[in-house]
Amino acid sequence: MDFRRIFSDKEYAPRRDLAIILLLYLVILAASLAFDSFDHVIDFVEQHEDWEIDEALTGLLLLPIALGIFAARRLSEAKKELKLRLLAEKQAHEMALHDPLTGLPNRRKANMVIEAALKQADSAPVTLLAIDLNRFKPVNDLYGHQAGDQLLLAVGERLKAAVADDGLISRIGGDEFCAMLSGIPAGDQLIRKVETLSEVFETPFLLGDLSVVVSASIGVVTTDVPATPLDSLFSQADAAMYRCKGTGRNEIAFFEAGMEQAAIQRAKIETDLRTAIVEGEIRPFFQPLVNLYDGEILGFEALARWHMADGTMRMPDDFITIAEETGLISDLFFVILKAAAIEAKNWPVGLHFAVNLSPVQFGDEWLVERILQTLVDVGVAPGRLEIEITESALVSDLDVARNVIVSLKNQGINISLDDFGTGYSSLRHLSELPFDKLKIDRSFVHGIETNSASQSIVRAVTALAHNLGLQVTAEGIETYDNAKSVMDSGCDIGQGFLYGRPSRGGQLALPDGSRLETGGESQDDSVKPHDEKAA
């Protein structure tokens, strides 16, 4: 027993006091015995009978009993206080290791658990998953932080249930989660488990009246080497995660050598994008939209291209999602809109120009005014503009979307529902929002002539759209067979490499191989020919 601790520690204070009292009592008793003190006291009391000392002494004899009771109560109270204090300390400690919003372990706790698991990695392999939500910022911006919080909470709950007893799920930052799986060797079983985690994003999240769909990019790395440093495990999982970031879809990537380089690249894109927009490095290319039956050009879609200072070109898949997540998409949209309008001004008046709008932009309450102002500034009639709204992963607030679409339509602007078939509640969108056109995603058109499932979908969707008074564009037409099939299915308009690849303004290709010299944006010879894939 450590006596110093007994004398210094508060925990022992009541017992220490009791011991001192007992000790004092023994000392007094010993002294009384030694000096026969009680007999002296009796004599003294008898000599001074009128002082009533005997009565006072009787009372005094009862006092220790009362004090004893008092002490016992104090002791039990002190014990209770101590228990509470220890509990509070434990809670504070737990709080420091958990995320207050979701109650999940935080990064500190995850580090501790993963480090412990790594020690046994040779017998129980450790898998780390970096799980990053796609387009979470728009949810926050569109529906408010409370909805964002609710969403994170629900995501955490689903992920936790999916991990179950195989490991740990933790929230390590804003919309970043991390899962650790232990004891599942690399192979089919692990792939299955990782898919289970990815599948939690396939069902929309209900936030009050809102139904929100978010997808996640998941990077996975597995090790059976106990000496693997925690840092490199995290950066490898992150690198794999960034590999799927570009598409904005629900995707999984397993770490491979070389991915870390790509992750650094993505971080660089994020920082470079802002200046690229300001410096005019993002400019549109134009791809023709044609009447399927006579090949007549009806207009062009403006597709963003990032012309790098070194002469190379970056494609939208590399930067649109980043633009959406960083809030730069609105600036990017207006840069493209203005450039496309300037270009279209030089085209024959009958040709329209189409610009892609990200659903993230529905959050901008001045959107419609700003679009109109841009058209007025350039001097192009609103009737020539077509806005393409992608059936994005975000099942948007229909009321907000309807307001924007109706206001745009009231100004004479046409609206197309883009990438039809890749979204979630397509038919609902179609009947509830007043679109003018529907663009069937190229995944349905690719190989359609030999795919009867695609054929029947395209035919059914086209019939439905026609019933609702919409025109139908088939995207991604690369061959005559593709074209014939979509015509057989009843589509009206075609877009694809067969009719023309996206190309620089000022000199647009016509289907017959001749060129539409529009005298638009001057050709920039420092920009190498675009890297569109060969047909």
SS (H, E, C) 405-474: HHHHHHCCCEEEEEEECCCCCHHHHHHHCCCCEEEECHHHHCCHHHCHHHHHHHHHHHHHHHHCCCEEEE
| Residue among 304, 395, 461, 472 that touches ligand C2E (CB under 6 A) | 304
| Residue among 239, 418, 448, 482 that touches Ca ion (CB under 5 A) | 418
Q: What are phi and psi of 258, to 5 degrees?
A: 100, -15
Closest distance to ligand C2E from the beta carbon of 386 (Å): 12
Q: What are phi and psi of 493, to 5 degrees?
A: -120, 150
502 touches 303 (CB < 8 A): yes
Task: Record the tokens describing residue 285, joined without a space.
Answer: 């290319």
**Does the protein bind Ca ion through residue 391 (CB under 5 A)?**
no
Stretch that binds Ca ion, among 161-169, 261-269, 396-404, 467-475 (CB under 5 A): 467-475
Closest distance to ligand C2E from the beta carbon of 451 (Å): 15
What angle, rounded to 10 degrees, do the helices at 37-47 and 13-35 form? 70
231 touches 207 (CB < 8 A): no
Measured distance CA(414)–CA(531) in Å, rounded: 30
Q: Considering beta carbons, is residue 167 or 496 the nearer one to ligand C2E?
A: 496
Closest distance to ligand C2E from the beta carbon of 272 (Å): 17
Stretch that binds Ca ion, among 3-11, 20-28, 107-115, 382-390 (CB under 5 A): 382-390
Which neighbouring-strand residues pair with 352?
299
Stretch that binds Ca ion, among 162-170, 228-236, 384-392, 456-464 (CB under 5 A): 384-392
Stretch that binds ligand C2E, among 19-27, 66-74, 99-107, 496-504 (CB under 6 A): 496-504
Q: Considering beta carbons, is residue 259 or 329 the nearer one to ligand C2E?
A: 329
Select from ligand C2E, Ca ion, none the partner in contact with residue 503, using the beta carbon and a kind-dependent cut-off of 5 to 8 Å.
Answer: none
Select from ligand C2E, Ca ion, none the partner in contact with residue 336, using the beta carbon and a kind-dependent cut-off of 5 to 8 Å.
Answer: ligand C2E
Give the amino acid at 422. T
Measured distance CA(384)–CA(412) in Å, rounded: 8
**Does the protein bind ligand C2E through residue 442 (CB under 6 A)?**
yes
Select from Ca ion, ligand C2E, none the partner in contact with residue 476, using the beta carbon and a kind-dependent cut-off of 5 to 8 Å.
Answer: ligand C2E
Select from Ca ion, ligand C2E, none the partner in contact with residue 281, using the beta carbon and a kind-dependent cut-off of 5 to 8 Å.
Answer: none
Q: Which single residue is written with the structure tokens 């509470």?
A: 84
374 touches 366 (CB < 8 A): no
Stretch that binds Ca ion, among 75-83, 226-234, 252-260, 385-393 (CB under 5 A): 385-393
Measured distance CA(264)–CA(326) in Å, rounded: 17
Measure Cα distances from 404 to 39, 230, 303 in Å: 106, 48, 22
Q: Considering beta carbons, is residue 182 or 392 the nearer one to ligand C2E?
A: 392
Binding mask 332-351 for ligand C2E (x = CB under 6 A): -x--x---------------
Task: Record the tokens describing residue 255, joined without a space.
Answer: 């770490």
| Residue among 132, 272, 388, 397 that touches Ca ion (CB under 5 A) | 388
Measured distance CA(341)–CA(333) in Å, rounded: 12
Closest distance to ligand C2E from the beta carbon of 340 (Å): 9
Q: Considering beta carbons, is residue 14 or 423 the nearer one to Ca ion?
A: 423
Q: Considering beta carbons, is residue 148 or 476 the nearer one to ligand C2E?
A: 476
Give the amino acid at 294. D
| Residue among 287, 321, 471, 489 that touches ligand C2E (CB under 6 A) | 287
Handedness of CA 435, 439, 443, 448 (dihedral sign): positive
Measure Cα distances from 289 to 250, 349, 354 in Å: 30, 15, 9
| Residue among 163, 419, 437, 502 that touches Ca ion (CB under 5 A) | 419
Buried b / exposed e along 26-65 (16+ C-beta atoms within 10 A): eeeeeeeeeeeeeeeeeeebeeeeeeebeeeeeeeeeeee
Stretch that binds ligand C2E, among 5-13, 191-199, 310-318, 485-493 (CB under 6 A): 310-318
Restricted to residues 298-357, the positions that interact with Ca ion (CB under 5 A) are 356
Q: Considering beta carbons, is residue 134 or 356 the nearer one to Ca ion?
A: 356
Residue 9 DSSP label: -
340 touches 284 (CB < 8 A): yes
Closest distance to Ca ion from the beta carbon of 394 (Å): 16
Residue 351 DSSP label: -
**Does the protein bind ligand C2E through residue 476 (CB under 6 A)?**
yes
Binding mask 122-161 for ligand C2E (x = CB under 6 A): ----------------------------------------
Measured distance CA(126)–CA(181) in Å, rounded: 6
Residues touching ligand C2E, count (CB under 6 A): 25
Q: Considering beta carbons, is residue 254 or 420 the nearer one to ligand C2E?
A: 420
Select from Ca ion, ligand C2E, none the partner in contact with residue 440, using the beta carbon and a kind-dependent cut-off of 5 to 8 Å.
Answer: none
Stretch that binds ligand C2E, among 182-190, 329-337, 364-372, 466-474 (CB under 6 A): 329-337
Closest distance to ligand C2E from the beta carbon of 446 (Å): 7
Alpha-carbon Rg for the chain in angstroms? 37
Q: Which residues bind ligand C2E (CB under 6 A)?
A: 287, 303-304, 315-317, 320, 329, 333, 336, 356, 358, 388, 390, 418-419, 442, 475-478, 495-497, 502
> Contact positions toward Ca ion, by CB under 5 A?
356, 388, 418-419, 475
